[in-house]
Amino acid sequence: MKKLLLALSFCAVLVACKTPKQSTQTNPDNYTTAEPKTETVVAPATAVTQDSLFVYLERTPCYGQCPMYKFKIYNSGYALYEGKRFVEKIGLYETHLSAAALQEIKTKVNDINYFGFRDQYPKTASDFPSVKTAIILDGKRKEIMNGTGAPLALKEFEAYLDSLKDGAVWKQVH
């Protein structure tokens, strides 16, 4: 009986060691980051289309009940929302934003000189959430990690993107 248990334990270790592990990139705050440039977007019940990422917003975890989600807007207006924790919608959702909404985002990006902000505004305490934004526009790409202490214009832009997310009619992706 001992030999059987030993053999089964050995087999379990071998299987566990050979199981492929999914690799993720993490940052010092210990949350997974996503840095898509151009990706294939699969919309349910539609054909696969090539679309470029235009806007990315991610709210990261904290040690409390901070909302945790990702929000992506593509040049076509296609948008994805992925709710993780402490949000009303958990899971993956999609919608489509109008050309006017996309133009308004571009105007706001230029008005606040988004590309002129620093790349990072570090956290003053480790339990604070961060907001990661990225804009890809006119051949330029800019990512900002806002821990705390960002200029008011950047915080207002993040809130504006949240208002677009909150005002959209989302359909769950299965």
DSSP string spanning the chain? -HHHHHHHHHHHHHHHHHSPPPP--B-TTS-B----SEEEE--TTS--EEEEEEEEEEE---SS---EEEEEEETTSEEEEEEEESSSS-EEEEEE--HHHHHHHHHHHHHTTGGGS-SEE--SSTTS--EEEEEEETTEEEEEEESS---HHHHHHHHHHHHHHHHS--EE--
The predicted structure's pLDDT at residue 50: 73
Q: Is residue 145 part of a domain?
A: yes
The confidence band for 75, taking pLDDT boundaries of 50, 70 and 90, is very high
Q: What's 68's domain CATH number? A: 3.30.1560.10
Q: What is the average per-residue pLDDT within 136-149?
A: 96
Q: Is residue 16 part of a domain?
A: no
Domain range holding 41?
Answer: 34-172
Q: Is residue 116 part of a domain?
A: yes
pLDDT exceeds cutoff 60 at 31: no
Q: Is residue 68 part of a domain?
A: yes
Count the domains in the chain. 1
pLDDT exceeds cutoff 70 at 76: yes
Q: What is the pLDDT of residues 51-73, one digit of tens each?
A: 999 999 999 999 999 999 999 99
The predicted structure's pLDDT at residue 39: 45
Per cent of the chain over pLDDT 70 is: 72
Q: Is residue 15 part of a domain?
A: no
Q: 9-18, 64-73, 86-95: which range is least confident on average?
A: 9-18
Q: Is residue 23 part of a domain?
A: no
